[in-house]
Amino acid sequence: MEIFLAEKMGFCFGVRRTVDITMKIIENKEQNVITFGPIIHNEDLTNYLKNNGVNYVTSLDEVDPKKTKKVIIRTHGAKKEVIDNLKSMGINVIDGTCPYVMRVHRIVEKLSKENYPILIIGNKDHPEIIGVIGYIINDVPYFVVKNIEEVEQLKNEGKFEKLKKIGIVTQTTEKIDKVRKIVNYLMDFIPEVRYFKTICYATDENQGAIHKLAPMVDIVIVIGGKHSSNTIKLYEIAKSYCYRTYHIQNEKDLDIGWFNYNDKVGITAGASTPDWVIANVVEKIREFSEILRKGECHEVT
Amino acid sequence: MEIFLAEKMGFCFGVRRTVDITMKIIENKEQNVITFGPIIHNEDLTNYLKNNGVNYVTSLDEVDPKKTKKVIIRTHGAKKEVIDNLKSMGINVIDGTCPYVMRVHRIVEKLSKENYPILIIGNKDHPEIIGVIGYIINDVPYFVVKNIEEVEQLKNEGKFEKLKKIGIVTQTTEKIDKVRKIVNYLMDFIPEVRYFKTICYATDENQGAIHKLAPMVDIVIVIGGKHSSNTIKLYEIAKSYCYRTYHIQNEKDLDIGWFNYNDKVGITAGASTPDWVIANVVEKIREFSEILRKGECHEVT
């Protein structure tokens, strides 16, 4: 088998920054540090942190101010009130929010100050979006939509009637094609459509690289957390080119039955996939290749 | 022949308003009234006005304050400085600018006050666009483009480099498909794209109606001034469905050789085409039909 790595994949700037902050804390052997939510969507990493004394909580109720010295805010960010509440408990808050997500916070704050209704394209249950919504002020109407169908539904329900303007932001991991469709649709009947490009460059680059790689290989392995939005997007793109595309969390999920000896194997990884996990996957596929070369395993067609 | 009129065509609200203002002046036998530019792009109408004592000028130099009591600003509007200059000459300025064009003036004024570079989609030599440009203040950069190719060229010339935001308006007669392409393109690399829908509803409706009519007929007659942007757009749309599409200014341009006896004839007219011109065209085609029915003329295939 030949293995091809996507030109761009794995840790993005924002994730690397937050992981570095946390690793330093472990290195310095600091005690009583927790993270607010898993700092990135990667179980291998959160398990590693846990084993080194850095646990995560998912709500303010779980934070005991007496036992907590520092709270690290996850890469996806958090609601403004969470950060404010932690600070008012006298806790040292280390803001690990990705700077690109912080920009989205500033944009929705500004838009809502200027009384723009806001359309957020993304997953309403994702921590990034929950955080973004937490920065909307002035009770302006806002909508979170996953796709064009949901926008059309809102239109049919009359939610956009009399709307003179709308501000649009997206989850940083969104796909541009979907976003374009929605903007095109709204341009038809809302007099002012103010779109902010908040898809982050790393997402752009990782997606661009798999667009290039997937059509050239026989099988694609996408590495990343099951809840990682950007990983899921990579999977969708790869799958659109290559039927044999698999989403795995780490090398343990690999199955030799997926591979043929002559395969060209493409590999990509979500922005929250540590390099060591990628390395383990590559190593494991090399072992499979050796096994298949020796004819010790059946071929899949 | 069967004649089908487009569901929506001819005079729009803005044109009717300016024509009404001017007709009232003729009715009241007011003297020393001129218009700044032809009030609408229709020679039949401007000739009628001329024959009734209302001439037009095309520059401030032609305006003699001693001999001029009133100046009517054309439907397409004028630069702010033209209006200001006329007023400072002590002349009574009647603003015949279409209210939808006035809205574009207000938008570019506001955008430039807020330091947005401005992209204007339209024809840089058209009086509407010359007027719109006249409302840009603060020396913000602005670009006038006809199509996506011109936008790509500006990009290649590095004109958009380091641009953090852009405001977009269009000539009121633009085609939405072209505008969408340009917005989609800019969304890719400019962090904030602020689009204002300034295509007017009448243009929308007239275009919608010919989209519906043209595929159902054998020949389309588009009536309107040779310089009328919205008429040219109607012609382009009709032509994309129906090879036998003709752009005429009035009934005198019609040629019996274009028609077959069995034809279904579709008719549309630009927003500056007076109803009487449409009526004359319909009448003339009826006459052709009668001639062809009697077999007095050859058939065209």
Q: Find chain A residues with C-beta within 8 A of B192's C-beta.
A: 194-197
Running DSSP on this structure, what letter comes out for residue B53?
T
Fold classification of B2-10+201-293 (topology level): Cobalt-precorrin-4 Transmethylase; domain 1 (3.40.1010)
Query: Given this model, what pLDDT does residue B294 score?
Result: 85
User: Sorting pLDDT into bands at 50, 70 and 90, what band is B127?
Assistant: very high
Q: pTM for this one?
A: 0.81
Q: For chain B, give every residue range classified as CATH 3.40.1010.20.
A: 2-10+201-293, 100-195
Is A183 near chain B, with CB under 8 Å?
Answer: yes
Query: Given this model, what pLDDT does residue A294 score?
Result: 86
Q: Which DSSP string do the residues of A213-259 spell out, in sequence order?
A: HGGG-SEEEEES-TT-HHHHHHHHHHHHH-SSEEEESSGGG--GGG-
Q: Find chain B residues with C-beta within 8 A of A176's C-beta.
A: 187-188
Query: Given this model, what pLDDT does residue B298 score?
Result: 56
Query: Given this model, what pLDDT does residue A296 score?
Result: 61
> Is a pLDDT exceeding 90 seen at residue B204?
no
Query: Given this model, what pLDDT does residue A295 score?
Result: 79
User: Sorting pLDDT into bands at 50, 70 and 90, what band is B73?
Assistant: very high
ipTM for the predicted complex comes to: 0.77
- Residue ranges in chain A whose pLDDT is less than 50: 301
| Mean pLDDT value of segment B190-213 | 92
Interface test with B, best of A111, A160, A192 (most B CBs within 10 A): A192
Could you confirm whether domain A13-97 is CATH 3.40.50.1370? Answer: no
Query: Given this model, what pLDDT does residue B295 score?
Result: 79
Which residues in chain A (196-215) have CB-CB distances under 8 A to chain B?
Answer: 196-197
Running DSSP on this structure, what letter comes out for residue B134?
T
User: Sorting pLDDT into bands at 50, 70 and 90, what band is B112?
Assistant: very high
User: Sorting pLDDT into bands at 50, 70 and 90, what band is B54?
Assistant: very high
Q: Find chain A residues with C-beta within 8 A of B183's C-beta.
A: 183-184, 187
E-strand stretches of chain B: 2-5, 33-36, 55-57, 70-73, 92-95, 118-121, 142-145, 165-170, 192-196, 219-223, 245-248, 264-269
* pLDDT tens by residue, A23-74: 999 999 999 999 999 998 888 899 999 999 999 999 999 999 999 999 999 9
Q: For chain B, give every residue range classified as CATH 3.40.50.11270.
A: 13-98
Query: Given this model, what pLDDT does residue A301 score?
Result: 47
Selected from 2.40.50.1070, 3.40.1010.20, 3.40.50.12280, 3.20.20.70, the CATH number assigned to the domain covering A100-195 reads 3.40.1010.20
Q: What is each CA distance from A264 to A5, A33, A108, A221, A299, in whole angstroms?
A: 11, 44, 44, 11, 14
Query: Given this model, what pLDDT does residue B242 score?
Result: 95
CB contacts < 8 A, A to B, total: 48
Residue of chain A with shortest Cα separation from B178: A184
The span from the first CA to the last CA of chain A, in angstroms, equals 15
Question: Residues A27, A114, A128, A290: which is the catalytic one?
Answer: A128
| Mean pLDDT value of segment B221-246 | 94
Fold classification of B13-98 (topology level): Rossmann fold (3.40.50)
B223 to chain A, closest Cα gap in Å: 27
Query: Given this model, what pLDDT does residue B227 score?
Result: 87
Q: Find chain B residues with C-beta within 8 A of A148's C-beta.
A: none
